[in-house]
Amino acid sequence: MTKGILTQAEADALLALPKEPVSDDVYEYPAAGGRLSVPLVSHDGREEFALDVSRGRIDLAKAKYQQRARRTVLLARLDINGRPHINPGGAPAPRTHLHLYREGFGLTWALPVPADKFRRPDDLAVALDDFLRFCNVDPRPAITSPVSI
């Protein structure tokens, strides 16, 4: 995917835009190795978004919550118990971290999870609720709770 597809102002505006599910469907939280994509739309109906949820195949405490705009533009991703990696510039990222769109870099930078926005980032259900709130999704889509680990 092209990293420089949006300006920073455009990406910030899309993330801040209020969103809602396109339907009242109930979605099943993915099992080990599974994926889920929930279509979302801005409240004014002008922008399409998606919430992607994926689950680790072996490590069931590993999950990824991602917000996309315009089908392919990645705006934010919360990696829970992800693989350790190094940010551009050499700083290590913690296993649970947040990626936010940066103009010219896409989601390559991992940030510590902000404690004021995410109550318990290693709890899959609480982290999903907090991620939806962080991405301004209201009302929240109906997603079954993750199985306890």
pLDDT of residue 149: 43
Give the model confidence (pLDDT) of 82-102 as tens digits.
887 888 878 888 899 999 999
Determine what percent of the chain is predicted with pLDDT higher than 90: 74
| Most confidently predicted of 29-33, 81-85, 136-140 | 136-140
- Spatial neighbors of 114 by CB under 8 A, at least 6 apart, are 98
pLDDT of residue 132: 98
Give the model confidence (pLDDT) of 90-135 as tens digits.
888 889 999 999 998 899 888 899 999 999 998 999 999 999 999 9
Give the model confidence (pLDDT) of 45-82 as tens digits.
999 999 999 998 888 889 999 999 999 999 999 999 98
Range 8-16, long-range pairs (CB < 8 A, 24+ positions):
8/101, 8/102, 8/103, 11/69, 11/73, 11/75, 11/101, 11/103, 14/47, 14/49, 14/69, 14/73, 14/75, 15/67, 15/75, 15/76, 15/100, 15/101, 15/135, 15/136, 16/136
pLDDT of residue 3: 52
For residue 2, is pLDDT > 80?
Answer: no
Cα separation, 50 vs 40, in Å, equals 5
pLDDT of residue 69: 96
